[in-house]
Amino acid sequence: MATIALIWELGSDYGHIGRYLPIAQALKARGHRPVMILRDISRADEMLGPYGLEYLQAPLWLPPVSGLPQALNLTESLFLFGFLQPAGLLSILRAWRKLFELLRPDLLVFDHAPTALLASRGLGLPRLITGNSFAVPRRATPMPLYQWWDPKAGAPAREQDCEDKLVRNANHALDALQAPRLACVADLYEAEATLITGVAELDVYGPRAPELYAGAINSIDHGAEPRWPTGRERRVFAYLKPHYAQLEPVVSALSRLDASVLVFAPGLARATVQRLQTANLAFSSEPLRMRSVREQVDMAVCHAGGTVDVMLAAGKPLFVLPLQMEQMMTSRRLEQTGCGLYYWHQQPPREIEKGLRKVFGTPEFSASARAWQARNAALTQEASLARLLSSCEALLAMRP
């Protein structure tokens, strides 16, 4: 039996746990001991406890960093998480190393965990980097820009200065640990294996070598069966964050569609639910079994996270509402496929209903989504999971 650490460090909400859940279950079924080291354990017992899966709190950088401009690339984003302060970064690295020492893992798996990756340098442990395309950035110097669609987004001198600063700070900490130094930021993503849990068409940095893509892995078999409002032939599912500034305009626009609408907005106040629900629009108070949802809907609305992969795998178009840069990058790629549209907060609110109705009422979006499904039919969740597990087993076989 091998102990396998499944590490998640950056990002919000529970998509990373949802991706790790089927992986951990499969590893456990093969006789291994998966242990998740998680950024946020506030719902870990609820999500993982029923399956007897272990979890630990990840060492994190907590002090807020202010005064920095909007990040141009991942290098600048890392300054928000300890890479701006060498002494503080060293403290986090030592905490990661002590955790590894106590856990004694045989394999490290990283999903958006750059500080843990840095801490693992020189330990001699096999490492697998995985996650969506944003969590597995293209290796370049300087690191690639986020806003690849904007010809004015780049600032070469600033990019090089940030590259040099991060490498200098990281090497200060690595020297103290007597670990191998970085020559560039991209060296942070050196590992024995790398697998993107996604497909080339939605890679936020653009298509890469085909062998890098394992296909999407998400939690699609857990949760309640959907219960739709009756009386309408077509169905729309929406996964919305309760803090989203335009939530009420979105829900109101959804209620005006000629469709049965089911909304999952975890944590939304009961009074708000009662005020917004209508005869054709209902709210679910618990997570839903997404394998069932995607087979039953005609269209989905979300914030451009893992739900995009889930829905496209069933050939369903989307209208997406990105909240941050990673989601905006995904939204741009989604629109390029012809499988959906997005609304950005800088647009007038009236564009929400306009875009929603366009995706709902234009057959070409559904046709493009079905074509996407056909092109990527081989990358089922089962096949993707098998590919990742095979990579884990191969790395474990490399141990002395």
In angstroms, the CA 145 to CA 225 distance is 40
Q: Give backbone dihedrals phi and psi of 398, rounded to 5 degrees, phi first.
A: -80, -10
pLDDT (0 to 100) of residue 120: 98
Please determine, for residue 106, whether its predicted confidence score (pLDDT) is greater than 80: yes
Q: What DSSP state is assigned to residue 10?
A: S
* Integer Rg of the chain from CA: 21
Say whether pLDDT at 400 is over 80.
no
pLDDT at 97: 98
Residue 113 has pLDDT above 90, yes or no: yes
pLDDT for 337 = 97
Judge whether 127 and 195 are in contact, CB under 8 Å: no
DSSP SS3 for 116: helix
What is the average pLDDT across 11-39?
Answer: 94
Angle at CA 356, nearest 5°, toward 351 and 359? Answer: 125
The tens digit of pLDDT for each residue in 43-100 reads: 899 899 999 999 999 999 999 999 999 999 999 999 999 999 999 999 999 999 999 9
Q: What is the dihedral sign for C-alpha 261, 262, 267, 270?
A: positive
Model confidence over 297-336: pLDDT tens digits?
A: 999 999 999 999 999 999 999 999 999 999 999 999 999 9
Q: Which residues pair with 110 in a beta bridge?
A: 7, 129
> Measured between alpha carbons, how far is 10 from 162 in angstroms, rounded to an integer?
20
* Domains, the chain, with CATH or none: 3-216+380-397 (3.40.50.2000), 235-375 (3.40.50.2000)
Bridge partners of 35, per DSSP, are: 5, 54
Tell me if 304 sits within 8 A of 331, measured CB to CB.
Answer: yes
Q: What is the mean pLDDT of residues 149-168?
A: 97
Question: Measured at the alpha carbon of residue 286, what is the angle toward residues 282 and 290, in degrees to the nearest 5?
Answer: 85
Torsion over CA of 343, 346, 350 and 353, rounded to 10 degrees? 10
| pLDDT above 80 for 13 | no
State the average pLDDT over residues 128-147.
97
pLDDT band with cut points at 50, 70 and 90 for residue 12: confident
- The pTM (predicted TM-score) of the whole model is 0.96
pLDDT tens track for 220-257: 999 999 999 999 999 999 999 999 999 999 999 999 99
SS3 145: strand
pLDDT band at 15 (very low <50, low <70, confident <90, very high): confident
H or E element that contains 127: strand 127-130
Rounded CA gap, 361 and 197, in Å? Answer: 31
pLDDT tops 80 at residue 138: yes
pLDDT of residue 159: 98
